Amino acid sequence: MDLLVETFFNLAIMREALPLLLRGVLTTLALCAVVIPLGFAGGLVLAVLGTTRSRWKRFLLACWIDFFRAVPPLVLLIFVHSGLPFAGIELTAFAAVAVAFLLNNSAYYAEIVRAGIESIGRGQREAARSTGLTATQTLTWVVLPQAVRNVLPDLLSNTIEVVKLTSIASVVALPELLYAADMARSVTYNASPIVLAAGFYLLLLWPVVRLLSRLEHRIAG
Amino acid sequence: MATPELSAWQRFVETFFRPDLLAEYSDDIALGMVVTCEVAVLVLVCGTALGLLLAYLRALRFRALNFLIVVFVDVMRALPPLVLILLFYFGLPSVGISLSSFVVLWLVLTLVLAAFAEEIFWAGMLSVRDGQWQAARSTGLGFNQTLVWVILPQAVRMTVPPLTNRAIAITKNTALGTVIGVGEILNQATTAQSFTGSATPLMMGAIAYVVLFVPVVMLGRWVETRFAWKRA
Amino acid sequence: MSEPGANGDYILEARGLRKSFGDLEVLKGVDFRVRSGELVFVIGPSGSGKSTLLRCFNRLEEPSAGSVVVHGVDLMARSTDINAMRRRIGMVFQSFNLYPHLRVRSNVTLALRRVLRKPRVEADRIAEAALARVGLADKADAYPSELSGGQQQRVAIARALALEPQLVLFDEPTSALDPELVGSVLTVMRDLRAAGMTMVVVSHEMRFAREAADRVVFMDDGCIVEEGSPEEIFERPRSPRLREFVAEVTR
Ligand SMILES: Nc1ncnc2c1ncn2[C@@H]1O[C@H](COP(=O)(O)OP(=O)(O)OP(=O)(O)O)[C@@H](O)[C@H]1O
Ligand SMILES: [Mg+2]
């Protein structure tokens, strides 16, 4: 029992690692503040492009989206971070994460928004057009607001995944929460900093997970 | 005009598709693909089964047990898998439990999938109306019989699309194994990359993933449209 | 291009309208004219092309051939701003199609604000006047889901009226309503007619047609088979198909 506490809940070590981890939390939050809006905006753009009538444009778009849904985000990140420099494109760790996340997340957000758009009946569109709204105005003021509302739980769920995913930025040495925790672990030879990091992630995401669970069950039931 | 373009193209090929490296490391990447598939299949089978078991236990409606299950599910949904991987891999040996990196990866991803699967199965079971339970029980079916023959078959329609998508997402997390040295595709690729100082192995790894997962993603898309009517 | 007023006093003039969905020809050359202030009823069996015809009048449906001229403007001409024209042609749908995410007031003001760029205060004033016209001044802050079907349809009418259209198209405005709610919508339509609004109405409300229509048009299988005053159509149908149809609906 002592050994267990010593290994995972060593308060002395946790206290020592705390400042480092707090800085990590800030970096994680900053990362989220960049990649979530960016990914969502990218997803909106892809989803809106997907409303085109041209079949082959839709096909190309589906290929693009499926490609970035098929490549694991860590693979994409390492490719952007370590592969592109060989082609003369050097990115900072932060920029590499931003680019990889944009490519990956926008594909997921796009699929969700697309489902939302498809959930809006054509009567809504026709009513709007019959009052003189253009196609773009109809999309902006009538279709998208309803579409986003209809898929809010899915958007929230995906956003939780994005926040969790920021932990892979540690692999390219971006000093976010998990990176900080792993640094502290390798210095102290003790897993407690990682437990502390887990605590921070729970603090951040547990309320959201609860909320989501409520939303999902309300819709199911 | 033609020459610089050609050389740019050649430089691109030299960087990402060096023929000698393609030949030299294709075996390693193939090995990585085998490992990735092994982990993936093990995780899919064990994670789904464990998720179903947890949903079954939840249907029994024991308060304490339900509470534990909900906490487990919430924690697994809120924690990044990489945190769990590092925790298990570096923490457990200190308390005398030494697991190979392969086992750690399998275990963590199984637990994560189980948590999501439990939620999905449970939501599916809730979506079957109470009348179904009452009707089945009134004909003398037991709890387990009702669950297996009446409720689950109806719940499955609800669960297949989200479960497929979740399973695909978690299977792709096998790439996280590289961080603790599981010899899957990404690990083989990055090892070869640092060894050769060329981006070609990375490109090979990326292609290997695309080859493995594009069909899976397309399958997921098909499943989603196939079962689309139920989620309206 | 035709000049305003060149069509006499016809507000709507469609010639040789054809529409096909793939191999299925739904409109087979329809000529249709509406005078200013007229209420024209379109009746006919299900699938005869009534909705399609109506939807061609504001190009929600693209005619395969033929011309539509509204208020002297050729709707099919490339130079025509179709969105500007649609503002002058109101449309009311069977299924209301109110925007569920917006309050009643915003349902009415959306086009005023986003298309006509009216300031909020002015748009709200227009909306409230339009809502008062349909007897729903007190519902401006409600969401559509909080209203009965009849109230929702009246909001939809107000949404069309707020743009001051010269012509309003109704596609089975009462078909989705419970019988006891039909009356309130018909009352609004009667008031509109009394105020001189030009209307084209597709409906199965034959009593209303007899009482309020200036002219009734009978369609079958993509063609106009017969047209005339309500008495002519209902009391003295000439073609066998219309006789059959009238017998069926007035049973
Ligand atoms: N978008 C479409 N694609 C293919 N066929 C269509 C489409 N819209 C209408 N049709 C077909 O055109 C024919 C005429 O349809 P329309 O809706 O105009 O009939 P209607 O007279 O309004 O009938 P109802 O009284 O049932 O509303 C029908 O056979 C219908 O199936
Ligand atoms: Mg119709």
Does residue A218 have a pLDDT over 80? Answer: no
Q: Which residues of B touch A103 (CB under 8 A)?
A: none
Contacts for C94 with CB less than 8 Å, ≥ 6 apart: C171, C172, C173, C175, C176
Q: Which residues of B touch A165 (CB under 8 A)?
A: 80
**Using the beta-carbon criterion (under 8 Å), do C99 and A129 form an inter-chain contact?**
no
Residue pLDDT, tens place only, B168-223: 888 899 999 999 999 999 999 999 988 888 889 999 999 999 999 888 888 888 88
Question: Taken in order C81, C87, C92, C95, is the CA torsion positive or negative?
Answer: positive
Q: Which residue CA neighbors atom 9 of ligand 1 most closely?
A: C52
Q: Which residue has better confidence, B169 or B158?
A: B169
**Using the beta-carbon criterion (under 8 Å), do A131 and C93 form an inter-chain contact?**
no
Question: Which stretch of A29-38, A171-180, B102-111 has the lowest confidence by average pLDDT?
Answer: A171-180
Residue pLDDT, tens place only, C171-212: 999 999 999 999 999 999 999 999 999 999 999 999 999 999
Domain A2-220, classified CATH 1.10.3720.10, yes or no: yes
Pairwise CA distance, residues A163 & A31, whole Å? 9
Does residue C7 have a pLDDT over 50? Answer: no
- pLDDT mean over B133-157: 83
Ligand located closest to C17 CA: 1
Q: Position A50: which residue type? A: G
- pLDDT mean over C64-86: 93
Ligand located closest to C42 CA: 1
Ligand located closest to C61 CA: 1
Q: Which residues of A touch B94 (CB under 8 A)?
A: 3, 6-7, 190-191
Strand partners, C217: C42, C227
Q: What is the pTM of this model?
A: 0.87
Q: In C160-222, at which residue ranges do the beta strands (DSSP E only) sit?
A: 167-171, 198-202, 215-220
Distance of CA A105 to the CA centre of its chain: 6
Indicate whether residue C222 lines ligand 1 (CB < 6 A).
Answer: no
Smallest CA-to-CA distance from C161 within C106, C117, C108 is with C108
DSSP string, C118-160: --HHHHHHHHHHHHHHTT-GGGTTS-GGGS-HHHHHHHHHHHH
Residue B93 contacts A, CB cutoff 8 Å: no
Report strand pairing: C65-70 vs C73-74. antiparallel
**Using the beta-carbon criterion (under 8 Å), do A131 and C163 form an inter-chain contact?**
yes
* Domains of chain B, earliest start first: 19-226 (1.10.3720.10)
Indicate whether residue C26 lines ligand 1 (CB < 6 A).
Answer: yes
Query: In this predicted structure, what is the pLDDT of residue C8?
Result: 57
Q: Which two tokens stand for residue C152?
A: 């929702």
Q: Which of A5, A65, A74 should be substituted to probe chain B, the one whose Cβ sees the most B Cβ atoms within 10 Å? A: A74
Pairwise CA distance, residues A130 & C14, whole Å? 18
Residue pLDDT, tens place only, A159-169: 999 999 999 99
**Using the beta-carbon criterion (under 8 Å), do A123 and C95 form an inter-chain contact?**
yes
Pairwise CA distance, residues C108 & C112, whole Å? 8
Q: Which residue CA neighbors atom 26 of ligand 1 most closely?
A: C46
Q: Which residue CA neighbors atom 30 of ligand 1 most closely?
A: C47
Q: SS3 sequence, chain B?
A: CHHHHHHHHHHHHHHHCCHHHHHHHHHHHHHHHHHHHHHHHHHHHHHHHHHHHHHHHHHCCCHHHHHHHHHHHHHHHHCCHHHHHHHHHHHHHHHCCCCCHHHHHHHHHHHHHHHHHHHHHHHHHHHCCHHHHHHHHHCCCCHHHHHHHHHHHHHHHHHHHHHHHHHHHHHHHHHHHHHHCCCCHHHHHHHHHHHHCCCHHHHHHHHHHHHHHHHHHHHHHHHHHHCHHHHC
Domains of chain C, residue spans = 37-45+82-217+224-249
Query: In this predicted structure, what is the pLDDT of residue C6?
Result: 44
ipTM: 0.90
Chains with 3 or more CB pairs closer than 8 angstroms to C? A
Ligand 2 midpoint to CA C217 (Å): 15
Residue C90 contacts A, CB cutoff 8 Å: yes
Q: Which residue CA neighbors atom 6 of ligand 1 most closely?
A: C21
**Using the beta-carbon criterion (under 8 Å), do C83 and A142 form an inter-chain contact?**
no
Contacts for B64 with CB less than 8 Å, ≥ 6 apart: none
Fold for C37-45+82-217+224-249, please state it: Rossmann fold (3.40.50)
